[in-house]
Chains A and B, each alone.
Chain A
Amino acid sequence: MAAITLGNRLRPLAYLSPWLIGFAVFFVYPLISTVYFSFQRYDLFTLEPVGLLNYEYFLKDEAAWTSIRNTLWLVVVMVPLRVVFGLGVAQLITRLKAGAGIFRTIFYLPSLVPLVAGTLGFVYLLNPSTGPVQAMLGAVGVQSPDWFGDPAYSKWGLTLLALWSVGDLMVIFMAALLDVPKQLYEAAALDGATGWRQFVHITLPVIRPVLMFAAVTGVIQTLQYFTQAMVAARVASGATDSAGSVFTPGYPDQSTLTFPEWLFQQGFRDFAMGYACVLALILFAVSMVFTLILLRQFRGFAEEES
């Protein structure tokens, strides 16, 4: 009997073992190591303890602060716009009587387009010299801005790209909208509330948790925003980044430089690895705050049984 109980106790451990090792090797160890390296100067060849120097450097590093401002811009502008647009599109589809299935397919499709391909496409479509968007606007006498070449518009260009690939949010919102009990709408209709008032007083309160969830996960994803900014800057600037690595992210004029990009640049292009670890710890702290909000607000997320 003892062997069976021991087996029962060890069984979860056996099933969990791949992840337990992964957790130790790719989370616990690197996190501790990152703290250690943050007090060192390390460029792959020489390792030298420098105390708080990396942290002091961060306070004076203007590019780092620019990247923080840009990332904050994306969090404050892009995330809410995506939620509002995603909800609008979802609400529209659930109200359609004809062709809802086809529209859902069409609206969802762009969110599956590879990030690099989608970004390349948008830089081409929106370029003011040969792009189709300018060609169409030009026909009605409007000059389109240089979306990815003008620091005033580059983040808006990325925002358009993010709105185009809103499909995943739309699917989540559609599921939530269809779960709103019909009786609530019927009761409201009896009270004379229709359209917009139903939306504000019934729909929004009922799906609020889903919206909050989308907003918080949106913030966490945006803190990692990397590929689109990197590719847009590279393609728009026409710079090369093969062996000769002359490309610096952020084109035009550091306006698309995000925090993870700067971390990448410092750690893996300039090999200021100790300093990159300081940036990594800051990114860790901020994303942990939002992860904790997520876990506190959405206990249902980790519910024991359904």
Chain B
Amino acid sequence: MTATAVPERVTARPPAPARGPRGRATLYWIAKHAVAIALAIMFLGPLVFIGLTAVMSDQQALTSQLWPTTWNWDNFSDIFEKAPLLTWIRNTLMYSLLATAFMLLSSIPVAYALARFRFRGRKLAFLLVITMMMLPPQVVAVPVYLVWARFHLTGTLWPLIIPMLLGDAFSIFLLRQFLVTIPREYSDAARVDGCGEFRTLIRVILPMARPAIAAVALFQFFYCWNDYYGPLLYAGTDLDNWTLSLGLAAFRSVHRVQWNLTMAATVLAMAPVIVVFFFAQKVFIEGVKLTGVK
């Protein structure tokens, strides 16, 4: 997918008449790229306008002007006074980091067993993983909620973090899809060298599976960072337990603030995702490919 050089220097001489095959190819080339540029504007437009509104003054946010007349960068510090954003960021980070660490700890061995070990019921186990992955979280919500209520953990984010110690179906699925593509010869060779099953996993398989592990870790981290349903169900009404998503959704109405500050908070929630994406684009793209059928 590397960008190649422009095949024809259309600017060097006037385009040939549209009739000829060469002229038609040129027109086609222009049309394709024009559509791509138009789409790019549509995909980027919302992000640009969110950013522009985030630095508008309070007065200007009430108008329909598109370009900021003054650039109010202190909007980004003002939002921290309007709402307990720091607390929300801290909670969100705790949720995302712990959930990701727990998920890796529990899901890697499961995925490895499903990809490598031969045992009765292996296929069934994998089908059940897929079934769990497809299960809407709302289906089992009532009894699960009641269990956490019995442990007095509703009103906290722990009901979202602790289950990650017991494996995450999507991550197991994705890791397994990658691990089956590693040729058996590698683990066989390790075994010949006297490595036990566990050491083979740690020393041989894990280093090779680094791209897939990076992908599930990033997906899990951002799933938690973006999660709204989970915190809405469990975090309760105490603002001190909220996450950024939860706070952001209520930001405008609860804090009676205008669009400019709401958009500033929106930029704040988006920023980490976008920054990480630019550094780890390949990890995301390869990870998404693993979720498809081959």
Question: Which residues of A line the B interface, CB within 8 A?
Answer: 9, 11-12, 15-16, 18-19, 21-23, 25-27, 29-31, 33-34, 37, 44, 89, 92-93, 95-110, 112-118, 120-122, 124-125, 129-132, 134-136, 138, 164, 168, 171-172, 174-176, 209-210, 213-214, 217, 220, 223-224, 226-227, 230-231, 234-235, 238-243, 260, 263-264, 267-268, 273, 276-277, 280-281, 283-284, 287-288, 290-291, 294-295, 298, 300-306
Contact = CB atoms under 8 A, between A and B. Distances in A.
Contact of B138 (A214, A260, A301): A260
Interface residues of B, number: 105
Contacts, number: 313
Given A89-B39, A97-B7, A130-B62, A114 B270 contact: yes
A273 B180 CA distance: 42
A223 B251 CA distance: 27
| Highest count of chain A CB atoms <10 Å: which of B44, B134, B245 | B134
Given A135-B66, A172-B289, A227 B3 contact: no
B288 interface: yes
A102 B117 contact: no
A258 to B, nearest CB: 10
Nearest to A161: B46
- List 4 A-B pairs, minimum CB-CB distance, nearest first: A22-B166, A30-B140, A33-B143, A15-B113
Given A116-B248, A226-B229, A234-B253, A132 B64 contact: yes
B12 to A, nearest CB: 15
A234 B250 contact: yes
Interface stretch (B69-77, B122-130, B186-194, B207-215): B122-130
Contacts of A12: 113, 117, 119, 122
Contact of B233 (A102, A109, A268, A273): A268
A117 B293 contact: no
B233 A231 contact: no
A224 B138 contact: yes
B95 interface: no
Given A34-B142, A118-B46, 14 more contacts: A19-B166, A21-B166, A26-B140, A92-B32, A104-B1, A107-B40, A109-B277, A117-B248, A124-B53, A220-B134, A241-B254, A287-B134, A295-B130, A301-B293
| Highest count of chain A CB atoms <10 Å: which of B3, B61, B62, B225 | B3
State the main secondary structure of chain B at its contact with A: helix
Given A103-B40, A130-B63, A130-B259, A242 B110 contact: no
Interface in B109-148: 109-110, 112-114, 117, 119, 122-123, 125-132, 134-146
9 contacts: A30-B139, A34-B140, A37-B143, A96-B36, A101-B2, A116-B269, A130-B64, A210-B292, A303-B180
A38 to B, nearest CB: 9
Contacts of A15: 109-110, 112-113, 117
Given A240-B250, A242-B237, A306 B145 contact: no
A37 to B, nearest CB: 6
A112 B223 CA distance: 10
B80 interface: no
B249 A116 contact: yes
Interface string B31-61: 0110110011011101101101100000001
A110 B134 contact: no
A10 to B, nearest CB: 10
| Highest count of chain A CB atoms <10 Å: which of B32, B125, B135 | B135
B163 interface: yes
A227 B253 CA distance: 17
Nearest to B131: A291
Contacts of B163: 22, 25-26
Interface string B268-280: 0110011001000
B87 interface: no
B163 to A, nearest CB: 6
Contacts of B259: 124, 130
B46 A110 contact: yes
Contact of A106 (B6, B40, B50, B130): B40
Contacts of A280: 138-142
Nearest to A281: B139
Nearest to B8: A97
